Every structure is written in C-alpha cells, then in structure tokens.
Amino acid sequence: MQDGQRADVRLQGTLLLMLAALLLALPASGLSATVRVGVYANEPKLMLGTDGRLSGIFGELLQEIADREQWLLQPVGCAWEACLELLEDSAIDLLPDVAINADRASRFSFHQRPALHSWSQIFSATASVYTSPTQLSGTRIAVLGNSIQQGYLEELASGFGLDIDILTASSFEMAFDLVRSGAADLAVSNHLYGNLHAVRYGLHPTTIIFQPSRLFFAAPPDSGQAMLARIDDWLERWTAAPESPYYAIMQRWGSYSAPQARSPLLLWGAIVLGILLLLVLAIALRLNRQVKHRSAALAESRYRLRETLNFDRLTGLPNRHQLLERLKKCLIAARHGGRDGAVLHIDLDNFRDLNDAHGHETGDLLLSAVAERLLDLPIRHFTAARVDGDSFILLIEGLPAERAVAQQRVEEAVQSVQQALQASFQLHNTAYHGSACIGVVMFSDVGYDARELLKSAELAMYEAKADGRDSLRFFNADMQDQVHQRAELASAIYRALENDEFTLWYQPQYDAQGKILGMESLVRWEHPVKGVIMPGVFIPASEANGLILRLGNRILFKACTQLAAWSTHPLLGGLTVAVNVSASQLHNDAFVDDVCRILDETGANANLLELELTETLLVRNVEEAIVKMGRLRERGVRFSLDDFGTGYSSMNYLKRLPLEKLKIDRSFVRDLLTDPNDAAIVRTIVALGESLGLAVIAEGVETAAQRDMLATSGCCLYQGYLFSHPVPAAELEAGMTHTP
C-alpha cells in the first residue's frame, strides 16, 4: 500500500472513532430512561400536583435533575410503609425524602450529599403545655408507622421509663386527624409538614423537637448507583450556586434561602428598625391594657356561662351535656382508630337516706368527695362526669379492639372504683362507709351510638340495683356472669376480712419414727352460708383485687398468735409453725418490717416461725429476696422452699438463700410408685438437699407404700393424709396422744 493510501485509511479510522465518541457523548434522542418514583403525601416536601406530576421540594428538585438528564419520571403513589416495601422489591427506582438509619442503610442505596435538612417536632391540640419529653408519660402519640420518629419515641419511652401509648398512622395527615378527633393527644411530624398544616387541624407546635435529619433520595439495594451519582453531582453544583434551581425551589416552598453576605448597613438598618418596633410595641401594650380592662367583665361573664353550660357547679365535673359531646368525639376516634371503650354508670347506694338523716349539706360533701376520688383513679384515658343527683359516669376510651384484653381493663377499672368508694369518707365529724351500684357497657356492644350507650349503661345500673347494694352488671349478657361472680367474690372477701371469717387449720409434719416435728398452717374461709371454702378459690381472687397483702398479714398474725399460745403446751411447745408467703408479700417494701412487727405484737418465738416460699416467687427478683430473707434470718425466722422441682431451679441461688428445708411437691409423690421419672426426681431432690445441708420433706403422702418408697430414696420427713388431715388448732391439741 502506498503512503497516500495509508494516510487515507488512518484519516477514515480517526473520523470513525471521533464519530463514535460523539454519539456516545450525545444524549439518547427520544430514548429517555423511565424512572419510577414513589410518592407519599408529605407536604411541602413531597406530593403529587393537580396535574399528576411530582410536586413539593423533593418533587420539583428531582424534576429539574430529570430534565437535564432526560429521565422520564413516572410517579407511583403509595403510603409510606408501602413505598419502602416497593423500593426494597425494586418495584420503584427512587424514593425521595428518606432519612438514613442503620436498618435502611442495609436495605437501600443512598447518595452522599443530603438533599434537605429537617427535624421532627411534636404538635398538640393545646398550646404551651408540653415543654419536656418527661411530660409525654401517660399520653397517646400518633406517629408515622415504621418511621425514625417511631423508633425514637420507643427508645425514649424505654430509656426514661415513660408510659407512652404509640399509635401508628399511615400518613402525617392521619396522625394529625387522630389528635383533632381526640383519639390521640399528640402527633409527630417533620417541622415542614407541621408548620404548613397544624393550623388547619387546630394543632399547636410544642417546644419538643428532636432528631435533626438529613434527607436523601433512596434506590433499591442492588441498583440505581449511577442515578444516585448523577443526583449527587447536581446537588453539589447547585448548593454552591446561590442562583441555582435548588435555592429557587427552597425559597418557593418556604424552606431556607441561599447563603448571602450581610452588609454593615443592613445590620444598622435592622437595629434601627428594631428600636422603632419596640416603641410601637410599647404603645400597643398600653392600648392593649386598656382594652383588656374594659373587656374583663365580658370575658368573665362568658367564662361563667360556659362553665354553667358544660360543668357541674358542685363537683366541677363535666355535666351531661359536656359528657355527651365528649362521648361523640370518642366514638368517632374509636371507629377511626379501631379501638374500643366503655361507659360506667355509677349510682351511690342509700344516698337519699344520708340526705334525710344528715341534711343536704352533708350529701353535697359526699358528692364532692366522690368526684375527687373518681378523678384520682389509676385509669388511663378516662373522663368522669356527674349526670344527675347521686349518679356519675366514667367514660373510658382507647381500649384495645381485642375483646378479652378490653374486658380485663374494664374489670380492673371497676375494681378501682369499688375500692375507692368503699373506703371511709370523713363527713364533718362522721365516718361514712359508702358503696355504689355500677352498670357497664362497651362501645362495641351498641353500635357506637352515644345516646344508646348512656341508656344501656343506665339500664345495666338499674339491674345491678335490683341485686342489692355494691352490685355490678354488664350490659353484655355474655360477659355478665363471669364478671358478676368475680366482683361478688371480691366483695365477699372484703367482707370476710372485716368479719374475721378466715381461720387457720394445721397439718402436722412427722419424721420416720412417727415423731411430730412441726406443722404447716393452712388458711380456710368459714363462710357463714357456704361453709368452709378452700384457698384455691379465694387466694387467686385476693391476688387479683389487691387484698392479698391484707389477707397475708392477717394469716401471719393468726399463726404467730397460735405459736405464742402453744409455747407453754407440754407437747406442742417448741414445734415449728410454717406459713405460706405470697409473691405480693415478699416483694412488698414493708415485708420485713411487717413480719418483725407481728412477731413483736404476738410475742411469738421467731426461731419457731418458718416461712414457706415457692420457686416461682423467687424468679422475679432473687437478689431482693436474698436481702430480705437474710434480715429475717438474723431475727431467727426460718425459710423453706415449697413445691420444689415445679418451678425455676438454680444451684446458684439455692446456695445463697438462707434455707432450712426443701419440700418435695405432692405431684411427684402422687405417682412415685408408678412413674420412674418421678422416682428419679425424688432421689435427685434428696441428694441435692444432702449436698446443700438442707432437710427434705415430702408433702402429699397418702399411703404407707409412698412413705416406704420415700424412705428408700432417703427422704425421712413426711406430711400428708397418711398421718393427719389439716385440722383446727383445738382438734390438733386434742389428738396429740395419737401416734401414726
């Protein structure tokens, strides 16, 4: 090939390479990339315009970038959590307005330079009430589900021990609406959305702000890096240029302006303007005082009129009119939020007799005192109202939709009301013991109708009245029987304590030679109508209604009194008496002081008192139990571990607890002869007791064969029907000449 031909070939090759480079550099004409963009309502940051195009700060910013990159944006509307799922599944290509946290950093891809800075703020229906996070305890806060705000509130509640009811919403709009309807007390949003929409919902910004956030565009985890890099490039250019589209968009949406230099002249102008403004304000304040002085009487008159229309003059509680308005709002919120609630109609017993005997002034004192106690009830989210004479209404809202849980909450509320009203009232110089009949209806039982709810609660109250004083009736017949029985049992236990109907029976404990070593005290309820009631019936009920502390101390006092009486008995003197202790007693702060006080009052020998604990009882706080047991052991009190082998066992705590004895549970003794597993467990417990230097006693021994098998296994202490049934103290004394 000649030189001229070679030159032509080289020239052609060069031209082809240049053409290829030019084609690669040019944008693809008419072949714009389609970008699916998730859009959730979060004004003013992100939304869909009336024309169906992206709008808001992020929307317009992305559109500016897309125009330059020739991307075709395809909006995909979705709720916040649904948007996150679509992004993770690569069903959308970009999601604007996303804050980075550890979870999202592992699930999505992000660019480097934040598109916007924001922070979270709490909004309230009332102005200037909430100023500190500690004030949030006991409130219901609506927050966007699966958001960083929700995570922050959960950590705040856990870290500070705050009782916060977090209600998740699918959008900021729903969160604000929950507060407006009364279903929530507070709502959380970013400050941009809140400042734009708070007034429309009648909400006020609080001074509680948190989580300053950097906001980004997010892409699926394994794609979109090139797109994010282009977004970063435009953000870096525009944020450095005050005249860029970035700052134009920010100014248009009222976020923040481009950085500008401030001249000294402008500063002095601002100072002069401030001085003039202060002078104008001083004049305005003077005029304002005059206006306030002239309108004070009118404002007071309006206030008194409002109080008369909405509140009871005697008690200060809402009246029927105000209650009805509140109930209507609660029902709307309950339907909207998928919650339940309850209305309690409370009617005082024998109030007319009190008025007739002591006059209306005394009756008014009682009504005011009842109102105060209702307001002090340990119930969340309730309204107390006086609707007529001696009738009060308790409106409980925000209950879970699950029927069993809601019913349990209502039962606890009823118990609180009954306990509050059963306590003595001091009226002038007279102690008055009151009670009330209560009718209850759930929101969900009558179709969420306010007037029907009040009627149904009143009807249930009248049915309770027919049963006699201090009675309870549920409007829902399915709930009524069980609740009525529990309430009746609780009232009966309370009366039994007042009437001293609980007595102690004693079951002796023997060694292998048939010698009595001590006895266990067992409580019995000698009901005046039903006869002897076993502890399995009334102990759980006492735990549930808060009477177990009083009952436990009563039992301990009776046992110590009997122990002191037997100190001079020729056969029973010097024998131990065991008393069962409940979890509520052991974990009560006054437990040690109560035991010592009872020993001092009765004169019982502490060295002969044995307190029986269960393994399950110790699980809650072993360290606390060790300290309390140690203090009582110094006084001489003995301890045994009851029902051993049925609960949580740990060699660590067994070594540290000041125990004297292990008791083999009757469930292992019952099948000892037929179940090899039970026999092995018994041998293990005996060996464990020997290694720890503890005595081992078997309870529930009913046959000689069981006793012999226990003896073969190394257990030589017994308690059960083979030797003696539980008997009253007098019968035990009379039968002491019997040898098993």
pLDDT in tens, 699-720: 999 999 999 999 999 999 999 9
**How sure is the predictor about 263, in pLDDT bands with cuts at 50, 70 and 90?**
very low
The values of phi and psi at residue 188, to 5°, are -115, 135
Name the more confident of 484 and 548: 548
User: Predicted confidence band at 23 (pLDDT cuts at 50, 70, 90)?
Assistant: very low
Angstrom distance (rounded) from CA 414 to CA 660: 43
Higher pLDDT, 315 or 264: 315
Look up residue 378 and give its two tokens. 């340990």
Which element (helix H / strand E) includes 387? strand 382-388
Nearest-angstrom CA–CA distance, 503 and 731: 13
Residues paired with residue 494 on neighbouring β-strands, in sequence order: none
For position 31, what pLDDT does the model report?
Answer: 45
State pLDDT tens for residues 318-373: 999 889 988 988 898 888 888 899 999 999 998 988 887 788 888 999 999 999 99
Confidence of residue 286 (pLDDT cuts 50, 70, 90): low
pLDDT of residue 16 exceeding 80, the answer is no
Q: What is the pLDDT of residue 277?
A: 54
Q: Indicate if the pLDDT at residue 2 is higher than 50.
A: no
- Please report the beta strands in 458-560, taking only residues with DSSP state E, as ranges in sequence order: 472-474, 502-511, 516-527, 531-533
pLDDT at 165 over 60: yes
Q: Which pLDDT belongs to residue 260?
A: 46
Mean pLDDT in residue range 460-487: 77
**What average pLDDT does the segment 580-604 reach?**
94
Give the contacts of 179 (CB within 8 A, at least 6 positions apart): 123, 124, 125, 142, 185, 186, 187, 201, 203
pLDDT at 22 over 70: no
pLDDT exceeds cutoff 70 at 270: no
346-350, 574-578, 649-653, 714-718: segment of lowest average pLDDT: 649-653
pLDDT of residue 576: 96
Whether residue 298 has pLDDT greater than 90: no
Mean pLDDT, the chain, whole residue set? 84
Average pLDDT over residues 206-232: 86
pLDDT at residue 482, rounded to an integer? 60
What's the CA gap between 64 and 259, in Å, rounded?
A: 21
Residue 352: predicted pLDDT: 85
For residues 525-546, give the mean pLDDT. Answer: 88
Residue 249: pLDDT over 50: yes
Cβ-Cβ contacts under 8 Å for 633 (sequence gap 6 or more): 639, 658
* pLDDT at 42 > cutoff 90: no
pLDDT at site 620: 65
362, 390 Cβ separation under 8 angstroms: no
pLDDT of residue 583: 84
In the chain, what percentage of residues exceed pLDDT 90? 42
Q: Report residue 292 as tokens.
A: 């306030």
Confidence (pLDDT) at 348: 94
Bigger pLDDT: 218 or 620? 218
What average pLDDT does this structure show over 623-631? 92
E strand or H helix that includes residue 323: helix 320-337
What is the per-residue pLDDT for 275?
Answer: 57
If DSSP codes are grouped into helix, strand and coil, which group holds residue 635? helix
Residue 21 has pLDDT above 70, yes or no: no
Q: Does pLDDT of 301 surpass 50?
A: no
28 three-class SS: coil
DSSP 200: G
Which residues have a Cβ under 8 Å from the Cβ of 537 and sit 6 or more positions away? 489, 525
Distance CA 80, CA 41 (A): 8
The dihedral formed by the CA atoms of 553, 554, 559 and 560, expressed in degrees to the nearest 10: 60
Are the beta carbons of 646 and 665 closer than 8 angstroms? yes
**Does residue 25 carry a pLDDT above 70?**
no
> What is the pLDDT, as a whole number, of residue 646?
60
What was the pLDDT predicted at 17?
43
